[in-house]
A and B are shown apart, each in its own frame.
Chain A
């Protein structure tokens, strides 16, 4: 297989990791909304944890994106 074509296919496959990011972020925000609708007074105190959880979930997805970019631009 032509290396340039293999690079593009590899980058596309590596980007599938972002599915995990989407699922993780949706889970975190969904659970936050569920809790906030049940107990609105406690919602504001957990807002910091929400942002932290979102960033950590997004990070793992972006690690996969970094692999894709490495495949595209380094090799």
Chain B
């Protein structure tokens, strides 16, 4: 049954439309090792490959950098320590000292998203976070986990989070509805922010890359200069989006653990 789907995909595989290549082809999922499990397509895809590469790289980096455990760190150990300090400070400032027990999760989340974003900056590679299902899976997990934590810690009193203090009673029904809606849109905004940044950025890179080739030797230098600057910006955006994803997770966690509004 999977084979029929493969054949249809191959047939629909368009290429160029009048000269310029399609910038959306870079987001295609390719099955590297076709594999079926209970009737579901559980193939090992290029997306899965890059996730494995990211996880392996992070693990190798942190384990290898810290193998010496020198009190005065070497250069590589400093990099690992800087990344640790960066996330630890973020968690301590935004969740508080008792929130540090969630530090392993936030560190894993930040390093994973950062590695996935950065791997996508390599030419001819695949950006895993440019698919909404990936970012939505992460955001949905965070949202459900944080909400469950809130209910565990405060019981039914967690619902008081949607009733801000110091509000005239007449406005309360409308305000509670607004608060509830804005809380329920958190996983959507969290996931779409990362997905849209990655997809828009990489689409632009591909489009301007096509311009460089299309304008040839004489005119190609202008889009090339822009490409260089824009690639630098995309590397910044890759880091920034990973940071924003992590810090918003910390803020949502803080909302659930210490319900200040």
Query: Are A and B a genuine interacting pair, yes or no?
Result: yes
Interface of A is mostly: helix
A67 to chain B minimum Cβ distance, whole angstroms, is: 10
Residues of A within 8 A of B127 (CB): none
Q: Which of A5-13, A23-31, A33-41, A55-63 contacts B (4 or more CB under 8 A)?
A: A55-63
Cα distance, A65 to B195, chains bound together (Å):
11
In the complex the two chains form, is B192's CB within 8 Å of A52's CB? no
In the complex the two chains form, is B199's CB within 8 Å of A69's CB? yes
Instruction: Give how many B residues have a beta carbon under 8 Å from the other chain's beta carbons.
Output: 14
Max chain A C-beta neighbours (<10 A), residue from B24, B196, B197: B196
CB-CB contacts below 8 Å: B56-102 with A: none
Query: Who on chain A is nearest to B201 by CB?
Result: A62
A-B contact count, CB below 8 Å?
A: 36
- Chain A interface residue bracket vs B: 10 to 19
Q: A59-B192, A62-B192, A73-B24 in contact; A51/B200 too (CB < 8 A)?
A: no
CB-CB contacts below 8 Å: B178-201 with A: 189, 192-193, 195-197, 199-200
In the complex the two chains form, is A62's CB within 8 Å of B200's CB? yes
Verify if B143 is at the interface (C-beta below 8 Å from A).
no
In the complex the two chains form, is B244's CB within 8 Å of A51's CB? yes
28 A-B pairs whose Cβ atoms sit less than 8 Å apart in the complex:
A48-B247, A51-B240, A51-B243, A51-B244, A52-B244, A54-B240, A55-B193, A55-B240, A55-B241, A55-B243, A56-B193, A56-B244, A58-B193, A58-B197, A59-B189, A59-B193, A59-B197, A62-B193, A62-B196, A62-B197, A62-B200, A63-B189, A63-B192, A63-B196, A65-B196, A65-B200, A66-B195, A66-B196
